[in-house]
Copies of this chain bind each other. A is one copy, B any other.
């Protein structure tokens, strides 16, 4: 697709760097912005620019925050003795949306992945251990993705947490999704869900 203007082309190329946005969508966005009022575009640009200038990460849990300590960490309503370890900020939001968890979080910023060149020192694992040492929680929940990389990270963190006697290390339940038919579940999930079966009377709804 040849564009009649270099400036339009550069804007399209910029918008096409967004994840999952192709040239055609990027062109649609660019033409929309071109037609918008100058004030609207200025607001659009300043809102995005502030992501780099004004947005901080919580010093305690590494989640995004407008303040040095995020609202979750500083809330007196949250249980201070449970830390849930997640991969990224989206996972914090997903767990918050369930309204089932009232403890604190710790955002790793990724999972161990030698293929992508992500090692232990690229993640917030050191600060997690330091935090456990200082805050002395009673439980750390590992809520990482159920992938090879997530499991590797789980194993590593669990091993490191063994140095704290009395600390419970748990992981979120894996198994058949609520509403799923066994027939259509993948073999690995189904196999593990029978191997890791739990007493019926302990189920919480």
Task: Find out whether the CB atom of A20 lies under 8 angstroms from the CB atom of B14.
Answer: no
Task: Find out whether the CB atom of B25 lies under 8 angstroms from the CB atom of A20.
Answer: yes
Q: CA A3 – CA B65 in complex, angstroms?
A: 9
A33's contact among B3, B51, B72, by CB below 8 Å, is which?
B51
Chain A interface mostly: helix
Q: Is A5 an interface residue (CB 8 A)?
A: yes
Q: CA A92 – CA B44 in complex, angstroms?
A: 27
Task: Find out whether the CB atom of B96 lies under 8 angstroms from the CB atom of A2.
Answer: yes
Task: Find out whether the CB atom of B90 lies under 8 angstroms from the CB atom of A31.
Answer: yes
Q: How many chain A residues touch B (Cβ–Cβ < 8 Å)? A: 55
A52's contact among B31, B38, B50, B70, by CB below 8 Å, is which?
B38
Task: Find out whether the CB atom of B13 lies under 8 angstroms from the CB atom of A47.
Answer: yes
Q: Is A129 an interface residue (CB 8 A)?
A: no
Q: Is A194 an interface residue (CB 8 A)?
A: no
Residues of B with C-beta under 8 A to A71: 4
Given contacts A11-B48, A34-B52, A51-B11, contact A89 B2 (CB under 8 A): no
Q: Is A45 an interface residue (CB 8 A)?
A: yes
Q: Is A135 an interface residue (CB 8 A)?
A: no
Q: Is A115 an interface residue (CB 8 A)?
A: no
The residue in chain B whose Cβ has the minimal distance to the Cβ of A8 is: B64
Q: Is A55 an interface residue (CB 8 A)?
A: yes
Q: CA A89 – CA B4 in complex, angstroms?
A: 9
Given contacts A49-B41, A52-B41, contact A18 B29 (CB under 8 A): yes
State the A residues within 8 Å of B (CB): 1-8, 10-11, 13-15, 17-21, 25, 27-34, 38, 40-41, 43-45, 47-52, 54-55, 63-66, 70-72, 88-90, 92-93, 96-97
Task: List 9 contacting pairs A-B, 8 Å CB cutoff, sorted by A.
Answer: A1-B93, A2-B96, A7-B54, A18-B33, A21-B29, A27-B90, A33-B52, A41-B52, A45-B48
Top 8 A-B pairs ranked by shortest CB distance? A14-B47, A10-B47, A18-B29, A14-B44, A5-B64, A7-B55, A11-B47, A34-B51
